[in-house]
Amino acid sequence: MPVGFQAFKEDGTLLFDIDRISYGLLKSGYLNLVDRWGRHYLRSAQLNPAEEANWQYIDLRDPICGITVSGAISPIVFLVGDGKPCGEAISGNVRTLYFQGCTPNTKAFIFDLMRDVGEKSGMECYDATGRISFTTGMPPLNIIAAVDPPAINPPVSPNTDTRWTIYAGSQNEQAGREWSADDYIYPKGAVFVPVVAGELAACLTFSRMCGLTQGTYLGVTQVGASEGCGGASGGVRFFFSPSVATTAVYSGGSSTAWFDIPTDRQPQALVIRATDYPFPFR
């Protein structure tokens, strides 16, 4: 079918085409604390990790944040502030999206495939099958940049895979007490990458995993870690921190160290200008 209607931005690039379903803003709001999760520790390094009885569950009070949407089909979430997705719960057409490593000030902008949202005061466009492909009831997703994270640091020596900090130019921060003084403290290897002026929101295209040696009140342990990102004023923060509900084994050493980091590929942070969208929305 020939294109019936197209709209273009001021720079001449295509904004939307009625034959292609666009993404639009479904909801925006602050992430709320919804739960706290712990993790399983191997009781001894000499025990067989394949045996369930050799693991001990410890409630380390890792805060889990969430935001709930109704009727979501294929949501994409952009964050202002640090955070990384860690699952979801679905009941009927209600979906709660879970995030880890967030603060009470983390904002979420949830985009989804455009459809009838009951807004009849603007414009709606339909494709050849009669499906809504664009509606002004959902502010359209406009990605202004795709940002690469800095390179992963080389190992501290040729004979080891250990890195004291994870990205070039990054620092190890202490995090975890943003919601309560009783919550689990953990290291966060973070770096800021400038993009453009203004408040930005970001979404990571995929997340890498790695290992982390860290000290806790239980002693030094090795845990799994994963990558996250978030928009900030003028740029994007990339970071690695312990994975949610990761297993842990006791280890030697006393310093924060990162290892087993994939370097043959890297994600990108897709960036939007948060101030271009209503907040809160619906």
Q: Enumerate residue ranges in the chain where pLDDT < 50.
A: 1
Give pLDDT, residue 122. 72
- Residue indicated by tokens 């006791």: 250
Tens of pLDDT, residues 50-91: 899 999 888 778 899 999 999 999 999 999 999 999 999 999
Tens of pLDDT, residues 97-113: 999 999 999 999 999 98
CB 161 within 8 A of CB 155: yes
- Longest CA pairwise span in the chain (Å): 68
Question: Which residues fall within 8 angstroms of residue 91, CB to CB, at 6 or more apart?
Answer: none
The domain ranges of the chain are 6-37+61-141, 146-274
What gap in Å lies between CA 187 and CA 173, rounded to an integer? 6
Give pLDDT, residue 118. 74
Give pLDDT, residue 137. 82
Question: Which residues fall within 8 angstroms of residue 72, CB to CB, at 6 or more apart?
Answer: 26, 95, 110, 112
Give pLDDT, residue 66. 96
DSSP state of 53: G
Give pLDDT, residue 1. 44
Give pLDDT, residue 217. 56
What gap in Å lies between CA 19 and CA 126, rounded to an integer? 7
Question: Which residues fall within 8 angstroms of residue 262, CB to CB, at 6 or more apart?
Answer: 208, 209, 210
Percentage of the chain surpassing pLDDT 70?
94
CB 28 within 8 A of CB 278: yes
pLDDT mean across residues, the chain: 89
| Contacts of the segment 59-62: beta carbons below 8 A, 24+ positions apart | 60/184, 60/216, 61/36, 61/180, 61/182, 61/183, 61/184, 62/36, 62/37, 62/38, 62/100, 62/176, 62/183, 62/184, 62/242, 62/244, 62/245
CA-angle at 200, arms to 194 and 206, nearest 5°: 85
User: Residue 78 is inside which H or E element, if any?
Assistant: strand 76-80
CB 282 within 8 A of CB 70: no
CB 198 within 8 A of CB 189: no
What gap in Å lies between CA 117 and CA 136, rounded to an integer? 10
Length of the chain: 282
Give pLDDT, residue 92. 94
